[in-house]
Amino acid sequence: MPARRSSLETNIDTLRQLAFDQTVRWSGLNDDIWRSLDAELWELTHNPCLVLNAVSEQKIGLMLADSHFHTRVTEVAEAHREILAQPTWFEREHADTALHQVAYFSMEYMLSEALPIYSGGLGNVAGDQLKAASDLGVPVVAVGMLWQHGYFRQEIGAEGDQQALYPVNDTRQLPIEPLLRPDGSLLRLAIQMPGLTVWLRGWQATVGHNRLLLLDSNDPANPPPVRLLTGELYGGDVEMRLRQEMVLGIGGWRLLEAAGYVPEVLHLNDGHAAFAVLERARSYMQVNKVSFDVALTATRAGNLFTTHTPVEAGFDRFPATLISKYLGRYVEHELVQPLSAILALGRQRGDDAGELFNMAFLATHCAGAVSAVSRLHGETSRHIFQPLFPRWPNAAVPIGHVTNGVHLPTWVSLEAEAHWQALHGDDLPWRGTSESRVSDLVEQVDDGQLWQLREQARALLFEFVRTHLARSEAVHGASLEVIESAGQAFDPHILTLGFARRFATYKRPNLLLLDPERLLRILNHPTRPVQLLIAGKAHPADRIGQQMIRDWQQFILRPQTNGRVAFLEDYDMRVARHLVQGVDVWVNTPRRPWEASGTSGMKVLANGGLNLSQLDGWWAEACTNEVGWGIGDGAEHGEDYDGVDAAQLYALLESQVVPAFYERDANGIPGQWIRRMRASMAALVTQFSADRAVREYTERYYLPAACAYRLRAGNGSQLALQLTQDHEQLRAHWSGIRFLQLEMQPHAGRYAVTLHMDLPGLSPSWVRVQLYTEGLNGEEAGIFDLKLDQAAQADGLLLYRAEVPDDRPAQAYTARVIASDGAGLAVPLEVGLIAWRD
């Protein structure tokens, strides 16, 4: 019989639960718990796990004996329990569905500063969606990597050179716990690499209702180079990347199963984890005693692939020799497939031995659905992936989109939220169970109150900026005089622009520097000055990106800047949060259409910030004259157009942005600016939230995928077996399709269509016979199904009939045959066969 736990142990467990849950938001409003335990350590790290582990149990016991501290811990814990106990959207709307578990795979996750296993945008999306899934009650278990060093930390040298630093992520200081087996032993599992067994350890992080499972190769049973497989995020060469993606995909699915999860849906957040589709099929083979083809047919219905890459060159690709070296034995002995068959899944032309193995192509070939991350990115992705669907029109390439959103409780200022709460109570629009609207909230405050919020946010931002700059100077060995003067020239009443992105060529972080003299005139206007805060990292291998950072450093050192520009080194979640909460205008300047979505500009919305950005990614959907400013003409151009965009950017600042900020009424309120703030918040905050994105993923993808998977897997995989056989028959006989006589007779404003067909070896129920015509005046293409005339069959030939509009010449119509989706095959994603009448 287990011993009864003492009240001290119970209270320490309560503190641990608070410290380890990544959905708890710690701020000046509720951080008195950790500040009381170790004020200095809390101020330096803002990491509750570190504080808890650094303080002795004796001191914690003494603190808990204090009635005020004990009451405070109880209040915070009870408030968090109440949040988790509230009925969720998923429970209300979709409780009785086939969806019980979604497995979400991503190379990185941005959840908090205390868990630095992220680089930037991809991790931001993954972390925000995981938190939103918890708020909404969507049953998601996430899988990722416990990076020993994470992404590099940045230091800027005296000459503006970026230095890459790799401090160690000590597991004792992170909000994670080891995964244990039922008998209490550590959960360790193995994957095979050439000549050795790689041991992986399992960890878990708590994200509200959900869990994030993490893989770690830093096991003493592994040789030192293997222990470093999970060392650096996006570090190493091509071979290291392949090893890491094997760990994430194959090891990740095995970790899920070992931890007791049986998901219906697998969601790949980009292609890094695409090997998980193979391991899922292998596991299904083993459990259900079926072939790989049947297992893939069954499981692919439950696989969703979200692509984040706006250019084909951005996909991870590996030489066939490397795939053979690392996966050859796995493919032949565990998948029981020839290597050529698996290589074909990662290629555009399956039999092209010289083509690299593409992880995005593997994910697409093994998915039941594919989505992009904005409307424009959907169009771009259909163009990129079109070669996988030869002879299909670009518009028919089966890639939808769910535009990204941000987790508002993570990014909205707690000071602003406290203000809204005082006006509106706890039912705020960025809470997962809220029914209220941002427009209703904004209507409750007058212009003066809104402006006061912005003034307060800007003042708080510059408190942070001065501290951050002073600490950077101190680390660099500056004099006390320099340290004390850092950031002192900034004025919290001046219009402040923010730009923080990865320093990559396509993001054009130096577009504002194309005409430095013009930028100086904008910054130093005698009555309408401007301040600029910049942050961002360049990949250690990106020399051009690092030069762009040097260019900014050299500009900042010019005396003419008058201290109105600063580069905040080591851009991370902490820096990002302060920037998006405090700046007046967020600037983003990618070269269209290379910004797949972007989320940084979404984060300023609920904080009252405005956007001045390229019409790319999410901003191409959001921008109107009422809510912000757009750069570009909505078309794609090359590098030679950068000067045009820069000139437009300067002109917008000079003629619209700056005047709108400084034109004040008798009470000192910028009326035009406030009108844009109101419009931006009312129209965009909820629309570009992670709540909205996760609801869309759930209803458009997860629920249908779960149903389709259960149908295919049910009754001993009967449907999966039948669909596999149908697909084989279609491929075997497709080349025999013959289009015979086509007649189109005008009749009462229509064409009466008759088409004679020969479909040797194919059942008419397996195909759809159609007429296709390009759309007129930019409209969608016209597609018309022809019906089989059962009574007119003769000599094995088939007659199809239809009526179509006669608003164009008969020659504008072309007959085609595609596979039927009536039996459950996804066309053209799963069966891309198509035949056209010449």
- Tell me what pLDDT residue 826 has: 94
At 664, which amino acid appears?
Answer: R
The larger pLDDT score, comparing residue 236 to residue 444, is at 236
Dihedral sign, Cα of residue 652, residue 658, residue 663, residue 669: positive
Q: What tokens were used for 111?
A: 């959840």
- Tell me what pLDDT residue 780 has: 87
CB-side neighbour CA atoms (13 Å) of 113: 22
- Tell me what pLDDT residue 4 has: 54
- Tell me what pLDDT residue 795 has: 67
Q: What tokens were used for 221?
A: 């049973």
- Tell me what pLDDT residue 550 has: 97
Contact 267, 103 (CB under 8 A): yes
Phi-psi region of 260 (alpha: psi -120 to 50; beta: other; left: phi over 0): left
Q: What is the pLDDT of residues 574-586, one digit of tens each?
A: 999 999 999 999 9
From residue 199, alpha-carbon distances to 168, 220, 251, 489 in Å are 20, 9, 10, 54
Residue 80 predicted with pLDDT over 50: yes
Residue 758 predicted with pLDDT over 50: yes
Q: Per CATH, is 89-404+698-709 categorized as 3.40.50.2000?
A: yes
pLDDT-derived band at 430 (thresholds 50, 70, 90) equals low
- Tell me what pLDDT residue 427 has: 67
737-836 shares the fold of 89-404+698-709: no
Task: Quickly list H helices, 614-702.
Answer: 617-622, 642-652, 658-662, 671-684, 690-696
Q: What is the pLDDT of residues 285-343, one digit of tens each?
A: 999 999 999 999 999 999 999 999 988 888 999 999 999 999 999 999 999 999 999 99
DSSP 8-state assignment for residue 204: E
Question: Kind and range of the H or E element at 196?
Answer: strand 196-207
Question: Kind and range of the H or E element at 534?
Answer: strand 530-535
Return the biggest CA–CA distance within the chain: 98
From residue 79, alpha-carbon distances to 16, 170, 323, 417, 442 in Å are 15, 30, 51, 16, 26
Task: State whether residue 201 is helix, strand or coil.
Answer: strand
Percent of the chain with pLDDT over 90: 86
pLDDT-derived band at 358 (thresholds 50, 70, 90) equals very high
Q: What is the mean pLDDT of the chain?
A: 93
- Tell me what pLDDT residue 433 has: 56
Q: What is the pLDDT of residues 601-648, one digit of tens each?
A: 999 999 999 999 999 999 999 999 999 999 999 999 989 999 999 999
287 φ, ψ (degrees, to nearest 5): -70, -40
pLDDT-derived band at 242 (thresholds 50, 70, 90) equals very high
Percent of the chain with pLDDT over 70: 97
Fold (topology level) of 408-428+436-688 = Rossmann fold (3.40.50)
Contact 213, 255 (CB under 8 A): yes
Residue 764 predicted with pLDDT over 60: yes
Residue 150 predicted with pLDDT over 50: yes
- Tell me what pLDDT residue 436 has: 63
DSSP assignments along 408-467, one per residue: HHHHS-HHHHHHHHHHHTT--TTSTT----HHHHHHTS-HHHHHHHHHHHHHHHHHHHHH
pLDDT-derived band at 1 (thresholds 50, 70, 90) equals very low
Task: Select from 625, 621, 618 the least CA-distant residue to 600.
Answer: 618
- Tell me what pLDDT residue 431 has: 64
From residue 332, alpha-carbon distances to 80, 282, 327 in Å are 50, 11, 9
Residue 216 predicted with pLDDT over 60: yes
- Tell me what pLDDT residue 122 has: 96
Distance separating alpha carbons of residues 609 and 604, to the nearest angstrom:
5
pLDDT-derived band at 508 (thresholds 50, 70, 90) equals very high
pTM of the predicted model as reported, rounded to 2 decimal places: 0.96
Task: State whether residue 735 is helix, strand or coil.
Answer: helix
DSSP assignments along 738-773, one per residue: EEEEEEEEEETTEEEEEEEEE-TT--GGGEEEEEEE
pLDDT-derived band at 748 (thresholds 50, 70, 90) equals confident
- Tell me what pLDDT residue 779 has: 83
Residue 432 predicted with pLDDT over 60: no
Distance separating alpha carbons of residues 641 and 631, to the nearest angstrom:
12
Per-residue HEC secondary structure of 213-266 comes to EEEECCCCCCCHHHHHHHCECCCCCHHHHHHHHHHHHHHHHHHHHHCCCCCCEE
- Tell me what pLDDT residue 311 has: 85
Distance separating alpha carbons of residues 591 and 511, to the nearest angstrom:
10
For 737-836, which CATH class? mainly beta
**Per-domain residue ranges for the chain?**
7-85, 89-404+698-709, 408-428+436-688, 737-836
- Tell me what pLDDT residue 478 has: 92
Q: Which residues pair with 192 in a beta bridge?
A: 197
